[in-house]
Amino acid sequence: MSYAVDFETVSTAGLESSPVAAALAGLRANEARYFKNKYDHVFTVEPASDAKSTIDWVHGILDKERGLVIASPPLEATAFQVENIRMAYVFYQNGLSINVMYTVDDGGKRAVGFKLSDGMEVPEELGAFKFARQKSRLAGTIRGSYFVIKNEY
Q: What pTM value is reported for the model? A: 0.95
Instruction: Break the chain into its structural domains and give their ranges.
Output: 3-148
At 24, the pLDDT band (50, 70, 90 cuts) reads very high
**Per-residue model confidence as pLDDT tens digits over 70-83:** 999 999 999 999 99
Decide: 76 and 27 in contact? Cβ < 8 Å.
Answer: no
Name the DSSP class of 6. Answer: P
According to the model, what pLDDT value does residue 1 have? Answer: 80
| pLDDT tens-digit map of 4-19 | 999 999 999 999 999 9
Strands (E), the chain: 3-4, 44-47, 74-82, 85-92, 96-103, 110-116, 132-136, 140-148
Q: What is the pLDDT of residues 99-123, one digit of tens each?
A: 999 999 888 899 999 999 999 999 9
